[in-house]
Amino acid sequence: MVISLWYNKENRMEGIDSMHSRNRLIAAVSLIILTLVLSWTYPDATPLGEQWLTAVGLPTWSNGHSGINYFSILLLLIAFTGLFLLRSSLYKHPRIIVLAAIIALLWLPANLVIGYQTVFAKGIYTLEYDKQGSSCSFKREEQWLNGSCTLTFINHGQSVDFSVMIRKEPFPNNAFLEQLDVLGDQTLHMAAHNKSSITVTFKKWVGDVETPFSGSMSGFDITVKNEVAQRHL
């Protein structure tokens, strides 16, 4: 009888542990999926979660659009919590499965976007903007600003025509390039399934005598648009 009671107690404990593990696994998968959803950056470059926080009036940066990114910290906390719960809910091969989850978090979003752009997207929605491969430079001659911008894109779909506008300049000293709209009046073309750097020249009148005589910038955000749509990249 004592053995029977001990056996039943062990079975109950195993059942409770199994239920707790299952609950942790469900919570872990939910948090990992939530991380993927919140970090989604298509069709615009701003993550979906950051857009939601802004929509409800919550700040995402400590200093406007710079400083500490509260959203990134929140996203990391959600991801780490999900991975921790995943690790604690597994009895077999926990390290391998957690490593696979980390790889999925890093690899899956970008490749899902590329897959969608290649198969389903049309128009400007097929474009991928290479921010690090893009730059602008200029020189001032009297009251005229002469320069060029090299913009790098990857087109995952059919050929497309579009225009580009500098959206948000991270370097305040060159903010006047955004104000002058140096790119917005020119139509660009990308061939189908192609990566290309497009050089756009500009010449603009500047009335501000404090405008620098020369300069350059890179890593800037842009707005891509055509007759029917626009995207913030």
Which of these three, 119, 141, 165, is where a domain ends? 119
| Residue 43 pLDDT exceeds 70 | yes
Supply the pTM of this predicted model.
Answer: 0.74
Write the pLDDT tens digit of every residue in 218-233: 778 888 888 888 888 8
- Average pLDDT, stretch 55-79? 79
Please provide the average confidence, as pLDDT, over all residues in the chain: 78
Q: In this structure, are 79 and 149 located in the same domain?
A: no
Residues 100 and 131 in one domain: no
Distance CA 146, CA 144 (A): 6
Answer yes or no: do 128 and 115 share one domain: no
| Residue 207: per-residue pLDDT | 65
pLDDT at position 17: 55
Segment 151-160 mean pLDDT:
89
Q: Are residues 16 and 97 in the same domain?
A: yes
Q: Are residues 192 and 145 in the same domain?
A: yes
**Residue 182, C-beta contacts closer than 8 angstroms, at least 6 positions apart:** 136, 145, 147, 149, 166, 202, 204
For residue 41, pLDDT over 80 is answered with: yes
